[in-house]
Structure 1
Amino acid sequence: MTASPPDPVPFVRNDRSRTKAWALAGICGLAGLLYLWLIGSSNYGNAYYSAAVRSMTESPTNFLFGAADPYGAVSVDKPPLALWPQAASVAVFGYHSWSMLLPQAVEGVVTVFLLHRTVRLWAGERVALLAALILSLTPITVAINRDNNTDSLLMMLLVAAAYSFTRSIHAGTDRGRTKWLLLCAFFVGCGFTAKMLQAWIIVPVLALAFLLSSTSPVRRRINDVLAAGAVLVVSSFWWPALHDLWPGDKPYMGGSTDGSAFQLVFGYNGFGALFGTGQQPGGSGINVPLAMVGLSGGMPGVTRMFSAEVGDQISWLLPLSLLVLTVVGAAGYRRLWFEAPGDAVQRAGWLLWGGWLVLVGGVFSFTQGIFNTYYTTMLAPAIAAVSAAGIALLWRKYCRPDGWQWMLLPAAVALTALWAFVLVSRDTSWHGWTRWAALGLAAFAVLVLVVAKLSPGRRPLGHAGLVVGAAAVLLSPAVWSVGTAAVAADNGGFPTAGPPNNAFSALLRGELPDGMMPPAGMPPGGGQMPEGMELPPGLQLPEGAQMPGGMQMPDGVPASGEDTAASSGVRSGKGFGGSDLSAGNRRILEYAERHSGGAGVTLAVEGGGLASSSFIIETGAPVVGMGGFLGADDSPTVDQLSEWVDRGDLRFVLTAHPGKARLGGMAGMGGSVQQKRLVWVRENCRLVDPGAYGGEPFDEKQAQLPVPGFSDAALYRCGA
């Protein structure tokens, strides 16, 4: 039996010096500057969510259920909690990119502040300040907090949960420990309402850390965890229950097979995203081809977090963190072996942040479904906490008068700088000078630390080595973070830090220059481009990947920015869910508005929110992207389309030209439900002459990019 850990001393709020208070304010100010710099010039971020935010301001029902279009036909493919602050800000300040992105930046700053408060309880003020600084300077965190994806709110809620958990360990009474643990569960449940099952990844860590670290009696601990589980379930599933039980009209649940929010939880956006189950039975759900898995986030495996696609976003301090966890784990094992008493607070902190890092990193590394680089921002708080506490731990070992463990600190500095050198060397066009600067600082720091240790009476020199070593460790990610904010690039649906011309973003925009290879994450062998999807000239598939049916690389693909939508399309040149409405698209919309006779839906567009977003963002018109995100949802059904037409709510539909079996590229990935709508439109509606709205005749030889150019679409008039 091991000795029972002593009760932790109840936390007392001691007055901090003004210097430390100003340091925290400065770090939060730095974070705010990075997240807000030129934020209004970065366009509208993820256009799918941007269109939804505008649509949510149209009615209370749209707001409550996260409608993706002003008409309220389909919702976004997750609970709308993360979009509510954005919609509220737009309702107050008007619909602008800055007003929509402002809540994201605020959430990011609050996350930095909460991390400081959490780590301060565990490891002290200086470590907390360092952790907050590291989080502020994490490149992918800067990118995600300048975008409107759902991860910013998720991170704020999970760090709030970590704070509540830490307070539960510090509480001096059983009742206090229970109260704070229940609040922790509530915050995780709110995270579920922001990004579903991703929020639950840390639940096993929280439960285990509480059971092993709380000083309450064992029976009380178990009861507390069970009670927290009940709170977690209620705070997670209240919105799906509300959606499914709502008696009145509501949007179809985007991404589901039957309109049910609970089906979405356990389907494509839940376990399907984790295990890569692909399209759901019946043709609903996103039909993502194997060839696209890994495009953004690399292929699954133990090295994914260090890969070319992910490494420069999050892994700058990952080697340092893993080294620290190895040292801490070895020390904990020795303590357990020799039955030495432990510190409950310290144990809880290491279990929390170390477990968070290992479990989340492991899940992300082996996820078989869709995985994007910006998901890794969930690792940032844990890396920041472990790295900051680890530097303090290694410094204490360095200061010991005997033993060999003093060498761990200079080794950690050297290891981290070498890894930064590798990351920067992958693309030296983006602040490549930092690799040599970081390496030089690290070499100098190691030299100073070694000399100070081997020369008696030179302890102040060791402090200087520590400061220089910290600068070496943080230099490259800091420059990448500042550079990411400075260029104010429009990351669209896939925010990334660093070079703005990475291959995946260019592929989605349709701007890959001749000879540029797609990202290394595309699977070697077995992957095929889906039917109708072609590649620009000079763009080569990876070894083993094939075009379907022996198709060849097309000729005549339009150059970047060329308006191929003049005949019909929803967008060209900029691609994946862009916010810019092309001249051709605007003419189509204006024609539909003039001739729709006040219909509730001015225009229904095949290809989902990916296709309709630019219409909604630019004009706010009641345009419906049929089929949810990528057109794969069974909404509207053909019966609904018929009903809309009969009651005069719909007159115009934009879908595949009669000369095409389906829309090309991503817009045609909707499967059988999309084909049913296409057949119905062709049988019940008539083709509009492109000359009526200033378009051009359809060109069957026009090649389709993997992103939606929509030059193969046509406008149809339905009803009278």
Structure 2
Amino acid sequence: MTTQVSPRPSVSPLDARFGARFVTSLAALPRTLVRGRAGSARWERPALLGLLLATAVLYIWDLGASGWANSFYSAAVQAGSVDWTAFFYGSSDAANAITVDKPPASLWLMALSVRLFGLSSWSILVPEALMGVASVAVLFATVRRRFSAGTALLAGAVLAVTPVAALMFRFNNPDALLVLLLSLATYFTLRGIETGALKWVLWAGAMVGFGFLTKQLQAFLILPPLAGVYLYAAPHRFRTRLWHSFAALGAVIVSAGWWVAIVELVPANWRPYIGGSQTNSFLELTFGYNGFGRLTGSETGSVTGGAGGTGALTGGMWGETGIFRLFLGEFGGQITWLLPAALVLCVAALVVLRRAPRISLRRATLLLFAGYLILTALAFSFMAGIFHAYYTVALAPALAGTFAIGASLVWMKRTALWARITAAVAMLATSAWAWVLLDRATDWLPWLKFVVAALGLVAAGLLMAPPRAAWLRRLPGKWWGRATVAIALTGALLAPVAYTLETVSTAHTGSIVTAGPTVSGGMGGMGGGG
């Protein structure tokens, strides 16, 4: 469906009460985001603010170059900015003939921005960029609760420079809000495990519920790891932990169900048609086209027929399914630069924490991120229906958190030979995989892969060196450690940073967009709003 965006005739006042509860939840984040932690190093707060400022510049710079970006959603934003009925339902036009094929939560934020500042590409896209900055801040706050400032800053930086994150935080698809809400759900769950207070897991459930109102069942992929880690690590008897989990599920149902109930109960002739559905039913859209149909490939309502409607788990025009799907073609360059290293380091980190008590918050944090990463990656790998490369942005916070925590814990154990070998293997795997990904972009910066390979070899050699070796003791201060970290991180992040800079310097429009340069093995495809 294509809907043209026309100039907005008027600006309505902002409803100041909208989103009050969501804003209240953000206020619960640690004061470290603005004031720093008590007893923290003097450099921590400036470093955090510098990271957030750099992220804001990266995501906002020349943002208007993408124009209306995905005009399918921009038209709905325009409609919602001039008509409250269109705003509530997510209608594609102010006449309320039909809605977009997703719930309207992400449209609400953009429509409110347009009401405030007038219709422009900036007023539509800046909220997405700010959600990216907020996601980095939330990830920092989550990791910082039980790990060093350096670890938290690394996690935030990895998220900020992930190519697909830079793409979607500068675009108006629902994915930006989904990432922020899932990051908040992870943060609130960790607070619940830390304090044992029911209110935190209720907030976590509410974030997942609003995630459903953003992109339907995809938001629920995070529920098993959140519930599983809370049931395992929370400081209560199992019966209490189980009760809290059911209460959180109730929060999911309430925060998502109020809008669904209204849409389903209002007579069909009183509201717009539910776009993407065959029976004018949001429930049918949820469990069909945007639900189980995405897994089986038989999504009724697809404008392209998905995988041919056969239901076979082959992937069809959306790529072959299987455990290595995310590493193939254009998918790999979106998100997987650090994925091999993150998996290796995660296993090593769990070995480091093997003797920790059940309620260990360090292990709980790692399990939250790793569970979120692995389950979502497996779902994306085997879903046979419509699958676009930019969906992988949902993995970005979990990948960044897992990588940073794993690297930190392995580095702490570097006096052990097995830890040094693990770190070197992770470094070499990262460099080798970066070479493969860069080689797919045959005409783009052909020299970069050689630089990355050289840095990887040097870093691996430094990581293997015993920290108490005689020749190292003759070096001044902690020079060797800092040099090793700097070279290793440069080697690991240089290629994805280059991909990200290519992404933010390129205008992106239409319903299907990808980060980075054109690569061999890329896939095309069509599809409404995605």
- Whether TM-score is above 0.5 comes out as yes
> For each residue in 1:7-57, what CA deviation from the matched residue of structure 2 results, as whole angstroms up to 9, or x when unmatched?
xxx999524334211111111112111211111111211111111111222
Aligned partner of 2:105 in structure 1 is: 81
Confirm whether residue 472 of structure 1 aligns to residue 491 of structure 2: yes
- Rounded to whole Å, the distance in 2 between the matches of 1:423 and 1:206 is 32
Partner Cα separation in structure 2 for residue 521 and residue 250 of structure 1: 34
- Would you say 1:438 and 2:462 are equivalent positions? no
Distance 1:11 1:83, change over 3 A: closer
State the Cα distance separating 1:457 from its structure 2 match. Answer: 6.0
Q: Aligned residue for 1:275?
A: 296
Q: In the TM superposition, what whole-angstrom CA distance separates every residue of 1:599-653 from its partner, at most 9, and x where no partner exists? A: xxxxxxxxxxx6xxxxxxxxxxxxxxxxxx79xxxxxxxxxxxxxxxxxxxxxxx
Once residues 309 and 81 of structure 1 are traced to their aligned partners in structure 2, the CA distance between those partners, rounded to angstroms, is 29
Matches of 1:412 and 1:296, distance apart in 2: 33
List runs of 5+ in structure 2 lacking aligned partners: 1-29
Q: Which residue identity is paired with 1:298?
A: G
Distance 1:72 1:481, change over 3 A: same
One-letter identity of the residue aligned with 1:498: G
Q: Which residue is 1:137 aligned to?
A: 161
Code of the aligned partner of 1:65: Y
Q: Which amino acid in 2 is paired with 1:195?
A: K
Match of 2:401 in 1: 385
Matched to 1:416, the amino acid is T
Hey, what's the Cα distance between the residues in 1 that align with 2:377 and 2:180? 18
Residue 276 of structure 1, CA deviation: 1.6
Looking at structure 2, the residues matched to 455 and 296 of structure 1 have their Cα atoms a distance apart, in angstroms, of 55
State how far apart, in whole Å, the 2-side matches of 1:406 and 1:58 are.
Answer: 60
| Residues 347-405 of structure 1, C-alpha deviations (whole Å, 9 max, x = no match) | 211210110111011111001110111110011001100111111112112134xx433
C-alpha separation in 2, matches of 1:42 and 1:133? 24
Judging by fraction of residues, say which structure has more helix: 2
Identity %: 37
Paired with 1:437 and 1:266, the residues of 2 have a C-alpha distance of 48
* Aligned position for 1:182: 202
Whether the 8 Å CA contact 1:276–1:370 is kept in 2: the answer is: yes
Cα gap change, 1:296/1:168 in structure 2, threshold over 3 Å: closer, same or farther? farther
Report if aligned partners of 2:352, 2:409 keep a CA contact under 8 Å in 1.
Answer: no
Deviation digits for residues 229-261 of structure 1 (CA, Å, limit 9, x no counterpart): 111111122111111122572111111122111
1:493 — aligned with what? 511
Question: Separation in 2 of the partners of 1:104 and 1:468?
Answer: 33
Residue among 47, 57, 65 paired with 1:23:
47
**In the alignment, residue 512 of structure 2 is paired with which amino acid?**
F
Q: How many Å apart are 1:432 and its aligned residue?
A: 2.8
Secondary structure (helix, strand or coil) at the match of 2:100 reads coil
CA deviations 1:54-76 (Å, max 9, x no partner) are 12223111111011123210001
Matched pairs, number: 487
Contact 2:440 2:519 in 1 (8 A): no
* C-alpha deviation, 1:123, in angstroms: 2.0
Counterpart amino acid of 1:233? I
Q: Report the counterpart of residue 260 of structure 1 in structure 2.
A: 281
Q: 1:290 aligns with which of 298, 307, 310?
A: 307
Which is greater in Rg? 1
Distance in 2 (alpha carbons) for counterparts of 1:370 and 1:252: 22
Instruction: Find the counterpart in structure 2 of residue 395 from structure 1.
Output: 411
- Whether 1:420 and 2:419 are equivalent positions in the alignment is no
Q: 1:179 and 1:346 mapped to 2: Cα distance?
A: 21
In structure 2, give the amino acid aligned to 1:288.
G
Q: Is the 8 A contact 2:182 2:211 kept in 1?
A: yes
Write out per-residue CA displacement over residues 474-502 of structure 1, whole angstroms, 9 at most, x where no aligned residue: 11101111121123x22421221111x45
For residues 179 and 88 of structure 1, what CA distance do their matches in structure 2 show? 29
- Partners of 2:299 and 2:358 lie apart in 1 by 47
Q: Tell me which amino acid in the other structure corresponds to 2:242.
A: I
**1:526-541 to 2 correspondences below 5 Å:** none
Report the alpha carbon displacement of residue 466 of structure 1 after superposing the two structures with TM: 2.1
Q: How far is the alpha carbon of 1:296 from its aligned partner?
A: 7.8
Cα distance change on mapping 1:287 and 1:485 into 2, 3 Å: closer
Letter in 2 for 1:139: P
CA shift in 2, pair 1:19/1:405, >3 Å: closer
Which residue matches 1:327?
A: 348
1:307 aligns with 2:347: no
Aligned residue in 1 for 2:228: 208
What is residue 146 of structure 1 aligned with on the other side? 170
Q: 1:355 aligns with which of 358, 366, 371?
A: 371
Letter in 2 for 1:493: S
* Aligned residue in 2 for 1:99: 123
Matched, 1:456 2:470: yes
- CA displacement, residues 292-312 of structure 1 (integer Å, 9 cap, x when unaligned): 985885321111111112001
Tell me the distance in 2 between the aligned counterparts of 1:329 and 1:305.
Answer: 24
Q: Quote the residue 2:192 is aligned against.
A: 168
Question: Which ranges of structure 1 fall in alignment gaps of 5 or more residues?
Answer: 1-9, 504-517, 523-575, 578-609, 611-628, 631-720
TM-score (norm 2): 0.86
Q: Where do 1:607-626 residues align within 5 Å?
A: none
Following superposition, the deviation at residue 342 of structure 1 comes to 4.8
CA distance in 2, matches of 1:20, 1:204: 34
Post-superposition shift, 1:451?
4.0
Q: Does 1:46 align with 2:67?
A: no
Distance in 2, Cα, partners of 1:64 & 1:423: 43
C-alpha separation between the residues in 1 aligned to 2:485 and 2:95?
Answer: 59
User: Is the Cα–Cα contact under 8 Å of residues 182 and 231 in structure 1 kept in the other structure?
Assistant: yes
| TM-score, normalised relative to structure 1 | 0.64
Match of 2:237 in 1: 217
Aligned to 2:5: none
Is the contact between residue 144 and residue 496 of structure 1 (CA under 8 Å) also seen in structure 2? Answer: no
From 235, 243, 246, the counterpart of 2:255:
235
